[in-house]
Amino acid sequence: MTNKKLLALLAVSAIALATATTAQADTGAQSPWQLRVRAIDVSPDESSTTSNGGKITADATVVPELDISYFFTDNISAELILATSKHNMGEVAPNIDLGDVWVLPPTLTAQYHFNNDTGFVPYLGAGINYTFFYNADPGAVTSIKYDNGFGYALQAGFDYKLDSHWMLTQTSRKSS
């Protein structure tokens, strides 16, 4: 990742961290729903090859993300992660422009939150996603096919509660 991309990611993440929030019921009681808005760095881990044996590349991008969680208990929740990203595609050796494609991988995870008496709440999650490819522009090649499909998602993160309405959050996620 270039320094420019890293600085942009840090700036967007700082803004997203500052805007992460938990939902609160009008009664003042804690709601089981949690809504987060943040920035994510989507860095594809390509494993495809072309018919002539070339390796496929996809660039990384920073995009906004919305996730919605429902807490069944203080420790167990389900999270729906929603984001879409555009990636420039290419082939290495020979260097061929494969255009770009949009990716939508809605992800559903089950999470375990290690609640304690402090505002620091670490969590682990695992789940599935289904990746949709859309609005593909083939670039210099006329016949590119992207296959939609299921994948896994693993995550580790933490929330730091500032008060009953606001928190800072950090998550690392690996998806296929």
Q: What is the separation of C-alpha 56 from the centre of its chain, rounded to a whole number of angstroms?
A: 21
pLDDT of residue 117: 80
Task: Name residue, tokens 């167990």.
Answer: 76
Could you list the residue range(s) of the whole structural domain that residue 126 is in?
Answer: 3-175
Query: E-assigned strands of 7-93?
Result: 21-24, 30-42, 55-58, 61-71, 76-82, 85-92
| pLDDT tens sequence across 8-48 | 444 444 444 433 433 333 344 678 999 989 888 888 876 67
**Rounded to 5 degrees, what are φ and ψ at 11?**
-65, -45
Could you tell me which residue, 125 or 25, shows the higher pLDDT?
Answer: 125
pLDDT value at 7 more than 60: no
- Cα–Cα dist 170/106, whole Å: 19
| C-alpha 122: how far from chain center | 18
Specify the length of the chain in residues: 176
- Residue 125 confidence (pLDDT): 96
- The predicted-structure confidence for 78-118, as pLDDT tens digits, reads as follows 999 999 999 998 887 678 888 999 999 999 999 999 987 88
- The whole-number average pLDDT for the span 139-166 is 88
Give every CB contact of residue 124 below 8 A, 6+ residues apart in sequence. Answer: 111, 112, 155, 156
Distance CA 103, CA 7 (A): 24
Give the percent of the chain with pLDDT over 90: 41
The answer to whether 43 and 49 have CB atoms below 8 angstroms apart is no
User: What CA–CA distance (Å, rounded) separates 131 from 30?
Assistant: 33
The tally of domains found in the chain comes to 1
Q: DSSP code of 6?
A: H
Residue 176: which pLDDT band, with cuts at 50, 70 and 90?
confident
In angstroms, the CA 136 to CA 28 distance is 47
Give the per-residue pLDDT at 47.
Answer: 67
CATH of the domain at 71: 2.40.160.20
